[in-house]
A and B are shown apart, each in its own frame.
Chain A
Amino acid sequence: MNTTWRTAGLTTGALLCAVGLTACGATGPATSSSPKQSAVPAALNKPVTITYWERYCDEGITDAVKRFNEENRNKITVKHVCAGSDETALAAKIQSAAAGGGLPDIATASEQYAAQYNQAHLLQPLDPYLASHWGVSAKEKSDFFPGAIDRTKLKVYGNQTMSWPFASTANALYVNMDLLHKAGIKQPPTTWQEFQSDAQTIKRATGKPGWVTAPGDGADLLDAIWSSGTPWVDAAGTKAQLDAPTTVGVLRSWQSMFHNGSAVVSGNYKSSFTSGQAGMVFASTGYATTWSSDMKNADWQIAMFPHAQGQPPLTELFGSAHVVFHSTPQRQLAAWLFAKYMASAQNQALMCPGQGCIPATQSSIANPAINDAIKSAPQYGTAINDIAPHAHLLPQSTALASVRGEIAADVFTKVTSGKLTPQQGAKELQNKAQQAIDSAQ
């Protein structure tokens, strides 16, 4: 985990280099990616070929590209490139191309990287397309899950629409119902109080930990504080809010769980859960379909990420959106049309079950492809129907990656191992998060 975030830091640095190099190279003739064209053409004049870079390298995406190319034969051809095994590898490829030329027309990006590309003036805002006859109707727009559409227009993008929905997942609670039933519990917990008490009951009744988690899981810590009522940063993204009583409450509860053995840390936390060695685990809804084969002999469920009593259900939206890079008006339009196709209810329904994502659109649920997927993995249905409507992006700031990956992870470890009291942990979290925000600004 830490290595990933360190790599993310290095690639962030590399982006700055890329921007610098782009500026230095301004004396040479412009590469195909440099002209910033925002006029929306009325029509595609001639056949256009666009390049698409993505990091999932998944058969579902390959099939979707094939369908699009078939449907747009002699108009648009999408050249699909598997551009990395993870976000950092894809970012390295994009950052290199930003400096040396050869950017794709469209790519997948998480908000963290989309914000960086936007700061480097690489991205084409999508508002002109949405406002044109190529856009989406109000009905189509309202079909998107709130979290999926909200992630496209953010403060870090200068309140412009800089991305379009693609592949979303959400943080969820996975529950081994066999262990819960042995402990006399009938339903998965919905609040943090129930979560703590259920974990202890499972430990007492079965001898197995109620909750298994990854070492230094800063992401779940920030999500838990958020679902308890306090976002980690204010709406402007400039002030950390981690010294609130909410943080102390979450840390106190988790410290107590680790102290009494109802929670444990494991490098193989996912396998521990799927092998029936622990009662509950937090993981992406992406596993709802894939774990059905690993756990076919177990009774297990997926449930909403817990929240504090009196607070509405809330969980973090993960995944990537599509961003369109500056090129020519014709290619930008083709890229937008491809992004629109990939987010369409029909394509989301065909692509998501295999890829593990939850569809961005609510009407996808009625599609037979989704119904088939739900029949073979009912947990996938819970992810779409019960979790997706409550999934939103964690409040964004350019410091989010370091706060989540390093600072919160470190405090999580120190508090759960008893090196810091919950109060000290909250204080350290607040101070270091604020420092990270200040230095990022």
Chain B
Amino acid sequence: MPDPQRFRHRLRATLPLVVLVPGAAVMIFPFVWMLLSSLKSGAEVSHLPPTLWPHKFQFSNYATTWRTPPQTFGRYYLNSFILAAGGTLLKAVIATLAAYAFAHMRFPGRRLLFAAFLATMMIPGEVTLIPNFVTIRHLPFIGGNDGSGYGGHGLYDTYLGMILPSAADAFSIFLLRQAFLSIPADYWEAARLDGCGRLRYLWSVALPMVRPALAVVVVLSTFEYWNSLLWPLVVTNSEAIRPVQVGILYLQGEFNSQPNLIMAAAALSILPMLALYLLAQRQFRESVAYSGLRG
């Protein structure tokens, strides 16, 4: 006679798996499809009905993909690393300082300014494209520009030009501000009595306490910079500084697209993100749990 309590316990342990395993399979399937398609021949990849398993594994697709764009994928990788690392660092610094100020410092117009920051989240990216371009191009005293921002090209066609417009981001500031608000003011009072300044307190006390929120900012920012396409395309001309997503364009001919090569390029492009996830799995899970964000 089975023990009903044990049965219930097993059922409780099994039921989530019944839901989660198919769910995980659905989530993983596109990646499996991408990897398998990246190893198919050109004819097989566009065949209907589609095949799941390649008839013949064509590993040379990866070598072809690596060599096809004007710069090799190695160069595009390096550029994307520079964008993702530099952009994320800058965004984390700006968001931390701004969020702390909004949360714990008293100054006139604080609420209004914060509301204005939040309002920028409602503006679609297409609308800010041209104003951002004009700003980047006409920054005074940079890139040969004079004091009025003319005469040179500002930050056009530079890494900084690709990074700066996304470096101050309302969502990151909002997220970190909410995290800072959860820290009681007593901590600051105690630290101040010990002779601690604002920056020292922020670095040594407050920031470690909002680490999960900061991890969300870092993860989302890294993905955002890594996956950016339109802005780098608009603000650069030199192939030598363009990121990996722009490199993939060279595999997408209007009539002679090679889906197997595009899949190989996509697989190559997500590898660093996958590695990042594996390295920072625990922080990533914590950050997702903290923010309630998915996918």
Query: For the complex, is A277 an interface residue (Cβ under 8 Å from B)?
Result: yes
**How many whole Å from A373's CB to the nearest CB in chain B?**
13
Q: How far is the CA of A106 from the CA of B70 in the complex (A)?
A: 21
C-alpha gap A286/B130 in the complex (Å)? 33
Are B233 and A284 closer than 8 Å at their CB atoms?
no
| Bound Cα distance A18, B127 (Å) | 11
CA–CA, A78 to B133, complex, Å? Answer: 24
A85 with B130, Cβ < 8 A, contacts A102-B153, A271-B46, A275-B47 known? no
Is residue B129 contacting chain A, with contact meaning CB distance below 8 A? Answer: yes
Given A17-B130, A275-B48, the answer on whether A81 and B237 have CB atoms closer than 8 Å is yes
Stretch at the interface among A93-101, A327-335, A392-400: A93-101
Q: Does B254 contact A (CB under 8 A)?
A: yes
- Report whether B153 and A56 are in contact in the complex, using a CB–CB cutoff of 8 Å: no
Q: Is the CB of B149 within 8 A of A28?
A: yes
Query: Which residue of chain A has the shortest Cβ distance to B259 in the bound complex?
Result: A271
Known: A286-B255, A293-B43. A93 touches B234 (CB 8 A): yes
Which residues from A are CB-within-8-Å of B235?
A: 96
Report whether B136 and A100 are in contact in the complex, using a CB–CB cutoff of 8 Å. Answer: yes
A82 interfacial contact with B, CB 8 Å:
yes
Interface 1/0 per residue, A61-100 and B, CB below 8 Å: 0100000000000000001011111000100110111011
Q: Count chain B residues whose beta carbon lies closer than 8 angstroms to a beta carbon of A.
A: 37
Interface size on A, residues (CB 8 A): 49
**Residue B151 is within 8 A (CB to CB) of chain A in the complex:** yes
B233–A83 contact, CB under 8 A?
A: yes
- Residue on B nearest A296 in the bound complex, by CB: B43
Partner of A95, one of B70, B130, B246: B130
B123-165 contacts to A, CB under 8 A, are 126-127, 129-131, 133-134, 136-138, 148-151, 153, 156
Please state if A21 and B126 are interface contacts (CB–CB under 8 Å): no
Instruction: Look across to chain B and name the residue whose beta carbon is closest to the beta carbon of A96.
Output: B133
Residues B253 and A56 in contact, CB atoms below 8 Å apart: yes
Chain B residues contacting A293 (CB-CB under 8 Å) are 42-43
Q: Counting CB contacts under 8 A, is B64 at the interface?
A: no
Write out the residue numbers on chain B whose beta carbons fall within 8 Å of the beta carbon of A379: none
Instruction: Output the nearest chain B residue to A51 by Cβ-Cβ distance.
Output: B237
Q: Is A272 an interface residue (CB 8 A)?
A: yes
Confirm or deny: A29 has a beta carbon within 8 angstroms of a beta carbon on chain B. Answer: yes
The smallest beta-carbon distance between B33 and chain A, in angstroms, is 14
A286 vs B257: C-alpha distance when bound (angstroms): 11
Which of B129, B137, B233, B239 is A101 in contact with, Cβ under 8 Å?
Answer: B137
Q: Tell me whether B148 and A85 are in contact (CB under 8 A).
A: no
B182 within 8 A of A: no
**Binary flags per residue of A14-34, CB closer than 8 Å to B gives 1, else 0:** 100110010001001101000
B250 contacts A by Cβ under 8 Å: yes
Q: Which residues of B contact A299 (CB under 8 A)?
A: none
Query: Given A29, A57, A97, which contacts B150 in the complex, CB threshold below 8 Å?
Result: A29
Interface residues of B in 21-61 (CB under 8 A from A): 42-43, 46-49
Chain B residues in 8 Å Cβ range of A17:
127, 130
Out of B127, B138, B234, B252, which one reaches A85, CB within 8 Å?
Answer: B252
A100 & B253 in contact (Cβ 8 Å cutoff)? no
Query: How far, in angstroms, from A169 to B255 measured CA to CA in the complex?
Result: 10
Give chain B residues whose Cβ lies under 8 Å from the Cβ of A85: 249, 252
What 1/0 flags go to B241-266 for Cβ under 8 Å of A? 00000100110111110000000000
Asked if A144 is an interface residue, CB under 8 A from chain B, the answer is no
* Residues from chain A with Cβ under 8 Å of B133 in the complex: 96-97, 99-100
**Cα A14 to Cα B132 with chains together (Å):** 12
A290 within 8 A of B: yes
A39 at the interface (CB under 8 A from B): no
Q: How far is the CA of A410 from the CA of B38 in the complex (A)?
A: 36
A14, B253: Cβ atoms under 8 Å?
Answer: no
Give B44 Cβ to nearest chain A Cβ, in Å: 10
Find chain A residues with CB under 8 A from B70 CB.
Answer: 62, 82
Interface membership of A364, Cβ < 8 A: no
B250–A57 touching, CB < 8 Å = yes
When the two chains form their complex, are residues A14 and B250 in contact, meaning their CB atoms are under 8 A apart?
A: no
Q: Which 3 A-B pairs have the closest CB atoms?
A: A286-B255, A275-B48, A356-B255
* 26 A/B residue pairs, CB under 8 Å, sorted by A: A14-B127, A14-B130, A21-B131, A25-B134, A57-B252, A58-B254, A62-B70, A79-B237, A82-B250, A83-B233, A96-B133, A96-B134, A96-B234, A96-B235, A99-B133, A100-B130, A102-B156, A271-B46, A272-B48, A274-B48, A275-B49, A277-B48, A286-B255, A293-B43, A294-B46, A356-B253
Q: Which residues of B contact A (CB under 8 A)?
A: 42-43, 46-49, 70, 126-127, 129-131, 133-134, 136-138, 148-151, 153, 156, 230, 233-235, 237, 239, 246, 249-250, 252-256
